[in-house]
Amino acid sequence: MAEILVFSRNRWTSVEQMDDRTFRATCRVQDTLREAWVEILVKAPDLEIVQVKGEIRRSPEEKERDVTDDLQKLTGSRVGPGIKKIIRGLLGHSAHAEQVATLVDECCNGVILSFTKDVLVHAPKDRAGEREFFAGMVRANPRLYNSCAALSADSPLMEGLELDKDND
């Protein structure tokens, strides 16, 4: 029996550094049912969204739609933890809003991961160095502790880790 695809989706996200303070993130989706894109312009140091535009070119719900006006609600929001909830809350929950919100999510995630990459390029390859590196990362950002299997309490990377207590 031929194993013909019923459905296929490609989602592509990219982040471009425009200048010292400006990042442009773009996400495009193309699948059997829909085609759309969103682009956000983010300014450091607040990672504030200063410009957003997008378009739904094809979808089961509607044929073509410039969603740039709808996306303006996001201007002024900051890319960081909690942004997913803010995006959903500001854009609403209609079918097209969900579709656009997912693209904005991907753009924001891409911006954050681009900074993560900047840090990870410094990770040592040897075990001892690696442990020291990731333990340091978790010590600096305690919410990463137990956030995944690699940083779980019983992971060798977390062996002997004590999170800072002094805060006052």
Q: What Cα–Cα distance (Å) separates residue 143 from each residue in 16, 26, 90, 140, 149?
A: 28, 28, 26, 9, 14
Site residues (CB under 8 A) for other proteins, limited to 133-152: 134, 140-143, 145-152
Q: Which stretch binds other proteins (CB under 8 A): 50-58, 64-72, 156-164?
A: 156-164
- Contacts of other proteins in 16-45 (CB under 8 A): 16-17, 20-21, 23, 31-33, 44-45
CB of 40 to other proteins, least distance (A): 13
Binding residue for other proteins (CB under 8 A) from 64, 66, 113, 129?
113
Asked if 164 touches other proteins (CB under 8 A), the answer is yes
In Å, what is the CA distance from 5 to each residue of 2, 28, 31, 59, 60?
9, 21, 12, 19, 19
Considering beta carbons, is residue 39 or 77 the nearer one to other proteins?
77
Q: Mask: binding to other proteins, 82-111, rule CB under 8 A, as x and -? A: x--xx-xxx--x-x----------x--xxx
Site string for other proteins, 62-81 (x = CB under 8 A): -----------x--xxx-xx
Structural element, H or E, at residue 27: strand 22-31
Secondary structure letter of residue 78 according to DSSP? B
Please report how many Cα atoms fall inside a 13 Å half-sphere around the Cα of residue 164, on the Cβ side: 11
Q: How many CA atoms lie within 13 A of 160 on its CB side?
A: 4
